[in-house]
Structure 1
């Protein structure tokens, strides 16, 4: 029985590391590697390695990428259930510079074929979980079904509204208990759904009262956790549902790290947050601190899913 059910994407990542990110029209020399990724799979691996029994519902092609997904899921004891697609398994092209910053282009492939009817057919798998976690690299109808199932059975529904240009509707937010955008995603949601203009670079420096007010406008019924990279995270609760916290809005500082690759850090945060919520009855701030520490450790390794740390790495003997 899963503690966390993740519905989302799997990609085969193709990664080039270079001193600086290429500009338009520029060719640069780099070092190439490949490995597993996709926001859904990254978060499922983070959840599993953070200690939660985890299931993963996705769509895969009939190719080497799908074989990789199944073998890696088995290695991390993730219960993978996939819809077979005629399209190839999803891919991503990732460029990483010497500071660990990245630029990413995604080819959805099979991920774009994940059907709402298939997610509905996995009701028994999803309904067993304490936390249902989804992102926006899959069709919105499929994500809606996943969160609806979670809401029906009383699970905590967690939506990571990534990437920033994803289709996030008011209907989707209405089914969301916890929302985990980064600065860019948060600014995009405010512009499209609230009508507020806030530049991503200004999110971290916005005062707490103003940031809290915008979060309440975006998700009145739920908790928003805005991840701020090196500036930590900002938490905003409704006044009547503070999840064991003493105050409705506060910041959690980032944990010290020596980042070499920030690819998947947001996924590490969301997956670890889901795992912690499913495992421990503590104040929400403790879950956020655990997720922040987990995400910081993930940046000290290369790759996406492969960079997700295991619990012993967070608490070495």
Structure 2
């Protein structure tokens, strides 16, 4: 059994919660907390807690934020491969409302220093990886190198094209086996890559055949999984990338959740998807998506990002043995 190799960001999250999100120019009273985050670290924690051996490649500062990342990775049993940067460790300002909605501002800090050369140097980690998972809070050159090295090593190259405002060049898509956008990320990719423009809130109601055609235009090879929040997921397979599924496209419903905080839910989904693919590579792909959907739902029932990721035991307790790795 291989491992999950995550290439990405670590941030120290600063979180303010109020009844609603502030309007431009407005000051509200609220509650403050702080904790670990960053899309890469969130996904690495999710993959590890979902049961997969996990390595995390990142850039950290020589400061308290970097020390926090090192301690937390050790506590969770994550093999941390860090580039030590002169810049401060990355940060994020997160604003939450009482319904669990959020707005986020990120300061890249050390994350901007993660280099393709440092990724290339992790040859041993790539050799042992079954899935390489990356996102877009790190420099594009490092992300591309990670995806290409994954392919060369025979691992699944999984790209979560988040955050939505990040540019995604054609070479990144060409190097990707599985693409996991949410509605906003999908519509942005579709507009930039194919010229097709559609509203974010129209995706969930789009007929399956049209949505499948758009996915295939965006990524002619491989698999596209569009996460749709409360509407679940839409999955589109290329003909030569069915991974045990008879249907070329299908939908899976969302799992029930008592939502407290949606921060990190997409990261929970991606980490759990990578863990499932690593632990049971021969299982039908829909089984992995179903596991990831339920794992993400459970993560929203607690506040925080990395700290909210549930364990495999908690997932089984809540949703049953169907979601065990075997």
Q: Normalising by structure 2, what TM-score? A: 0.96
Partner of 2:165: 165
Runs ≥4 residues deviating over 6 A = none
Which deviations, in whole Å up to 9, do the C-alpha atoms of 1:84-132 show, x marking residues without a partner? 1111000000001011000000000000110111111112212310000
**Which residue of the partner structure matches residue 174 of structure 1?**
174
Q: Which residue of 1 aligns with 2:9?
A: 9
Q: Report which stretch shifted further, 36-45 or 307-316.
A: 307-316
Contact 1:2 1:55 in 2 (8 A): no
State whether residues 180 and 225 of structure 2, in contact with CA within 8 Å, keep that contact through their aligned partners in structure 1.
yes
User: In the TM superposition, what is the alpha-carbon distance from 1:244 to its structure 2 partner?
Assistant: 0.4
Map of 2:322 onto structure 1: none
Residue aligning to 1:224 = 224
Per-residue CA distance 1:257-296 (angstroms, 9 max, x = gap): 0101000000000000000000012100000000000000
Contact 2:101–2:262, Cα closer than 8 Å, also in 1: yes
Give yes or no for the alignment of 1:130 onto 2:133.
Answer: no
8 Å contact from structure 1 (residues 183, 200) kept in 2: yes
SS in 2 for 1:48: helix
1:235-260: CA deviations, max 9, x gaps? 00012221101101000000000101
Structure 1, gaps ≥5 residues long:
none
The residue number in structure 2 matching 1:90 is 90
Deviation for aligned residue 1:2: 5.6
Shift of 1:310: 0.4
* Equivalent residue, structure 2, for 1:298: 299
Confirm or deny: 8 A CA contact 1:2 1:54 kept in the other structure.
no
Q: Is the 8 A contact 2:126 2:153 kept in 1?
A: no
TM-score by length of 1: 0.99
Please give the residue correspondences for 1:12-31 in structure 2 after superposition, counting only pairs within 5 Å. 12-31=12-31
Report how many residues are paired.
317
Please list every run of 5 or more consecutive structure 2 residues that lacks an aligned counterpart in the other structure: 319-326
Q: Aligned partners of 2:254 and 2:175: how far apart in 1? A: 29
Structure 2 SS opposite 1:315 = helix
- The alignment partner of 2:317 has SS state of coil
Native 8 Å contact 2:181 2:226 kept in 1:
yes
Distance 1:12 1:251 in 2: 35
Q: Which residue of 1 aligns with 2:51?
A: 51
The whole-number CA distance in structure 2 between the counterparts of 1:271 and 1:214 is 25
Q: Following the alignment from structure 1 to structure 2, what is the Cα–Cα distance between the partners of residues 61 and 142?
A: 18
The yes-or-no answer on 1:313 pairing with 2:295 is no
Q: Deviations along 1:139-158, whole A, 9 cap, x unmatched? A: 00000111111000110010
**SS of 1:12 mapped into structure 2:** strand
